[in-house]
Amino acid sequence: MSSAVLSEAESWLGTPYHSRARLKGVGVDCAMLLAEVYHRTGLIPHIEPGDYARDWHLHRNDERFLQWVQRFADEVANPQPADVALWQTGRAFGHGAIVTAWPWVIHAVVRSTVQRADVQQCALVFRPVRFFRMRGM
């Protein structure tokens, strides 16, 4: 199953960042990237998160992103390929990625695209991070 998740995530590489979008090759944000990849690989149902502001995590303590992930995944200590990484990017967890081989991830980057990155070489290295494994993996 992890190979299917990684293959699907890689198929999104180069998709432009667009808040609240979920169209491969057209636009996606980090939350919708996770939703689409795990849905298309049969691990979660299709979800409609409703409206959300791109910067909600900067001004609120409400852990909406974290709670959404916890509906479908269990926290793990050591990330494996196809696990979810969530970072606290303000007052709450507000950025997610798919682990390819820690510290490498695939994620949607604001003002850029979906890309592969070594998180130890970017600003995320300084943020609190938690890892989750989708149930059924």
Q: How far is Cα 102 from Cα 81, in angstroms, rounded to an integer? A: 7
- The CATH number given to whatever domain includes residue 83 is 3.90.1720.10
Listed range (20-24, 81-85, 96-100, 122-126) with the worst mean pLDDT = 122-126
Task: Quote the pLDDT of residue 123.
Answer: 79
Is pLDDT at 58 greater than 70 in this prediction? Answer: no
- C-beta separation of 40 from 68 below 8 A: no
**End-to-end distance of the chain based on CA atoms, in angstroms?**
6
Q: Whole domain around residue 17: which residue ranges?
A: 2-134
Tens digits of residue pLDDT in 77-111: 999 999 999 998 877 888 999 999 999 999 999 99
Task: Quote the pLDDT of residue 60.
Answer: 59
Tens digits of residue pLDDT in 34-56: 999 999 999 999 998 776 655 55
Task: From 21, 32, 35, 10, select the one nearest 99 (Cα to Cα).
Answer: 10
Q: 53-62: buried (b, 16+ CB within 10 Å) or exposed (e) per residue?
A: eeebbeeeee
Q: Which residue has the tokens 């057209």?
A: 26
pTM summary value = 0.92
Report how many domains make up the chain.
1
